[in-house]
Amino acid sequence: MKLVFATNNPHKMEEIRHLLGPDFEILSLEEIGCNDEIPEDKDTLEENASQKAYYIFDRYKVNCFADDTGLEIDALNGEPGVFSARYAGPQRNSKENVRLVLQKMDKINHRNARFRTVISLILDGIETRFEGIVNGVILKEERGERGFGYDPIFQPEESDLAFAEMSLVEKNMISHRGRAISALVDFLKSTNK
């Protein structure tokens, strides 16, 4: 099955292709000739995922999916949440985002957080959504060199490692995106018989 993943993030493409495996041909926006800045200006992860997926489906008439992910920190009232990618400003600088979270969490002992991914799949004009959640804590300092985004400061409750200390295989087994994609894959395999 051929699907377009509505992203230009190479890290996300690598994770998704790894998770979906050889039964699915996953195309990036670049591969379908889409160089647009896709809007994601809604107030929730669900709305942003839908907005991105419908943007591609409506313009390119291809089956596609889009995701939106947020880091939700209890002590910051759910921040950065839907603004995770641009928490420190519109330039979407991961290092600055991490620095801002660590700064805001500096004197806070209650460090519970969760990563949440919502996927909007559009097949033949019909939308289906999937969600993946992983609970954990915000670390006091960055650890690891792998991953991207907030991975160096997030430790899932299932591990003693930060996401950035895990291999892609280890991370995908327990990550929010891995869980959402697992639900997506189960759905696609059930409809692709």
Q: 114 or 189: whose pLDDT is higher? A: 114
Give CA–CA dist 158/82, Å, rounded.
Answer: 24
Residue 84, both tokens: 């995770």
Residue 125, both tokens: 């004009």
Residue 93, both tokens: 């600088």
- The alpha helices in 41-175, defined as continuous H runs, are 45-60, 94-104, 168-174
Q: 74 or 39: whose pLDDT is higher? A: 74
pLDDT band of residue 192 (cuts 50, 70, 90) is: low
pLDDT band of residue 190 (cuts 50, 70, 90) is: confident
Q: How many domains does the chain have?
A: 1
Q: Which CATH number fits the domain that encloses residue 170?
A: 3.90.950.10
Question: Taking 80 as the threshold, does the pLDDT of residue 51 lie above it?
Answer: yes
Catalytic residues: 68
Least trusted range by pLDDT, from 22-31, 47-56, 129-138: 22-31
Q: Is 61 left (phi over 0), alpha (psi -120 to 50) or beta?
A: left
Enclosing domain of residue 77: 2-191
Element at 190 (helix H, strand E): helix 176-191
The pLDDT of 62-77, averaged and rounded, is 96
Q: Contact, 45 vs 70, CB < 8 A?
A: yes
Question: Taking 80 as the threshold, does the pLDDT of residue 31 lie above it?
Answer: yes
Least trusted range by pLDDT, from 70-79, 85-94, 105-114, 150-159: 85-94
Compute the mean pLDDT over every residue in the chain, rounded to the nearest whole number. 92
Question: Taking 60 as the threshold, does the pLDDT of residue 193 lie above it?
Answer: no
Q: What is the pLDDT of residues 139-185, one digit of tens each?
A: 999 999 987 899 999 999 999 999 999 998 888 889 998 899 889 98
DSSP 8-state secondary structure symbol assigned to residue 193: -
User: Within 10 Å of residue 166's Cβ, how many Cβ atoms?
Assistant: 20
> What pTM was computed for the model?
0.88
Could you identify the residue written with the tokens 């313009």? 59
Question: Taking 80 as the threshold, does the pLDDT of residue 19 lie above it?
Answer: no
